[in-house]
């Protein structure tokens, strides 16, 4: 029986959009700032909400004269706490919050606007703030002009009291993807990234590089706990020579680090049949406004760990996501991240469960010409329930791409979206493939990156971050992770 099962689920929005107008119509707050002629309107929007947490945006529309440097203040009415903020700098003392501009958004022309966003936590209820103040003056809903012969008593300085750095600094430690997964009851058992910390408290090494000039190595850590990679340390260490990425550390504490993949069903091009290591500088990017580097996989490059701790085996439930460059792919086998065989060989149907990204059509494929997010379950790349074509799995090629695969007994799903904006789509959610060997699964628990389970190494792609979980994550948990990824500001 041939059937395509595809359930598309949308992120539940908390419908908390409020144009806060203090004057008129009984709504909660249009505000005027202190300036030669001042006024503003603030729109506070809760875009998504999950148990104990939420994602919000704040739009500030300047109705008065041009502003050069701004500070917005408000009080949370129910003890909410900001855990991460972008497009601004913030301080919070109890319920009182102050957000100031960063270097690139301090000027707001008359009639113009600026916007920042944040993730927050709450306990109990999550009501909207009742009022805002811009540059120290509560807005009144109109344009306020100074009285003749003087200026308003609360005249702001030309710029906020805190001078921002030339580029946005990494945010203070707060909620990160693995914190969100843990809160959802599906903790990370592997967390790999060369660009940022995946826990708010993580302050250890992200990866190791080795330079060719003298074969010495250097661990590359984060700028601060929960922050972006210290790319300057790599640039300094690797100046005037070539560096390779030798280790991608596991931030979960389980030591599921990734190193040079050994030979298996296929031998690699490096000495001893090992795969090549990635050149450390071929995938520059920006996260939290800071320079970082991804893992650029040319054909022949591969990483692996065949002796892991805590990764799903047999038919145990698990989830995983990865951030890829959606424009860097090929039709080779197989650019994977996820669960694979522990002996680097093809051990039969159902012995893998990994994210695949590319446009190969030898096995399964989706709508259009690709590339597609599919599941490598061994001896098949699956885009849905059918062995070959599944119309619900779309061609997807965002510059920064969120790719998700998750599986539990006789149930699995494919999800994906733009890692720079928006929400996740669900491209398949249903039973295991309708061919023999995949129910129950026989997962073995190794971890691979850039290669197939048997060490097939013909693929190309770029990896920035990814995790694997214990347990089958809910869509709500993944939606919150997606919001966190967008907030990281990959550019």
For the stretch 295-354, pLDDT in tens is 999 999 999 999 999 999 999 999 999 999 999 999 999 999 999 999 999 999 999 999
The answer to whether the Cα torsion of 241, 247, 249, 250 is positive or negative is positive
pTM of the predicted structure, to 2 decimals: 0.68
Check residue 271 and report its DSSP letter.
G
From the centroid of its chain, how far is CA 88? Answer: 19
Q: Which ranges of the chain have pLDDT less than 70? A: 1-37, 47-48, 50, 86, 104, 141-173
Report the alpha-carbon distance of residue 463 to residue 323 in Å, rounded.
6
- Do residues 66 and 108 lie in contact, with contact meaning Cβ atoms separated by under 8 Å? yes
pLDDT at 9: 37
pLDDT at 255: 97
pLDDT at 104: 64
- Do residues 416 and 402 lie in contact, with contact meaning Cβ atoms separated by under 8 Å? yes
- Do residues 121 and 52 lie in contact, with contact meaning Cβ atoms separated by under 8 Å? yes
- The burial of 192, by beta-carbon neighbours within 10 Å (0-12 exposed, 13-18 middle, 19 or more buried), is given as buried
pLDDT at 277: 98
φ/ψ of 231, rounded to 5, equals -65, -25
**215-244 core/surface letters (b: 16 or more CB in 10 A; e: else):** eeebbbbbbbbbbbbbbeebeebbeeeebb
Active-site residues: which are they? 378, 454
From the centroid of its chain, how far is CA 181? Answer: 13
From the centroid of its chain, how far is CA 460? Answer: 21
pLDDT at 421: 95
Question: Mean of the per-residue pLDDT values for the chain?
Answer: 86
Map residue 71 onto helix, strand or coil.
Answer: strand
pLDDT at 65: 83
- Parse the chain into domains and list their residue ranges: 16-138, 177-488
For the stretch 217-247, pLDDT in tens is 999 999 999 999 999 999 999 999 999 999 9
Within this chain, domains 16-138 and 177-488 share the same CATH topology: no
Map residue 283 onto helix, strand or coil.
Answer: coil
- Do residues 357 and 379 lie in contact, with contact meaning Cβ atoms separated by under 8 Å? no
User: Among 3.30.428.10, 2.60.120.200, 2.40.30.30, 3.40.30.10, what is the CATH number of 177-488?
Assistant: 2.60.120.200
- Do residues 368 and 345 lie in contact, with contact meaning Cβ atoms separated by under 8 Å? no
Taking domain 16-138, whether its CATH number is 2.60.40.10 is answered by no
Report the alpha-carbon distance of residue 96 to residue 75 in Å, rounded.
5
């Amino acid at each position: 029986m041939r059937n395509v099962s595809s359930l598309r689920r949308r992120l539940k929005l908390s419908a908390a959009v409020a144009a806060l107008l203090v004057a008129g119509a009984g709504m909660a707050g249009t505000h005027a700032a202190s300036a030669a002629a001042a006024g503003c309107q603030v729109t506070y929007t809760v875009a998504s909400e999950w148990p104990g947490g939420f994602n919000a945006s704040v739009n500030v529309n300047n109705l008065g004269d041009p502003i050069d440097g701004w500070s917005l203040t408000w009080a949370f009415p129910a003890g909410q706490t900001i855990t991460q903020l972008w497009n601004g700098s913030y301080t919070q003392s109890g319920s009182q919050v102050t957000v100031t501009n960063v270097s690139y958004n301090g000027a707001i022309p008359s009639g113009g606007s600026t916007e920042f966003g944040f993730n927050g936590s709450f306990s109990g209820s999550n009501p909207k703030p009742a009022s805002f103040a811009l540059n120290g003056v509560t807005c009144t809903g109109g344009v306020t002009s100074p009285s003749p012969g003087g200026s308003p008593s609360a005249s702001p300085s030309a710029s906020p009291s805190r001078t921002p750095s030339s580029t946005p600094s990494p945010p203070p430690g707060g909620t990160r993807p693995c914190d969100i997964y843990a809160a959802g009851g599906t903790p990370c058992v592997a967390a790999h990234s060369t660009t940022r910390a995946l826990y708010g408290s993580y302050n250890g090494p992200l990866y190791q590089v080795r330079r060719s000039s003298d074969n010495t190595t250097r661990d590359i850590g984060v700028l601060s706990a929960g922050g972006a990679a210290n790319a300057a340390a790599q640039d300094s260490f690797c100046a005037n020579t070539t560096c390779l990425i030798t280790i991608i550390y596991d931030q979960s504490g389980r030591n599921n680090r990734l190193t040079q993949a050994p030979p298996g069903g296929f031998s690699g091009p490096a000495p001893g049949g090992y795969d090549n290591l990635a050149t450390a500088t071929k995938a520059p990017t920006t996260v939290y406004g800071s320079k970082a580097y991804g893992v650029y996989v040319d054909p022949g490059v591969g990483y692996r760990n065949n002796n892991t701790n805590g990764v799903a085996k047999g038919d145990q439930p698990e989830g995983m996501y990865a951030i890829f460059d959606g424009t860097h792919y090929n039709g080779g086998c197989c650019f994977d991240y996820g669960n694979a065989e522990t002996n680097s060989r093809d051990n039969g149907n159902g012995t893998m469960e990994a994210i695949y990204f590319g446009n190969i059509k030898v096995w399964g494929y989706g709508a259009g010409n690709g590339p597609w997010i599919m599941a490598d379950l061994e001896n098949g790349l699956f885009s849905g329930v059918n062995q070959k074509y599944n119309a619900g799995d779309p061609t997807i090629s965002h510059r920064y791409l969120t790719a998700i695969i998750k599986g539990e007994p006789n149930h699995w799903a494919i999800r994906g979206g733009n890692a720079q904006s928006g929400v996740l789509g669900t491209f398949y959610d249903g039973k295991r493939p309708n061919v023999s060997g995949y129910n129950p699964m026989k997962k073995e628990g190794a971890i691979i990156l850039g290669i197939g389970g048997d060490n097939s190494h013909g693929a190309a792609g770029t990896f920035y971050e990814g995790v694997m979980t214990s347990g089958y994550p809910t869509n709500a948990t993944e939606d919150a992770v997606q919001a966190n990824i967008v907030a990281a500001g990959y550019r």
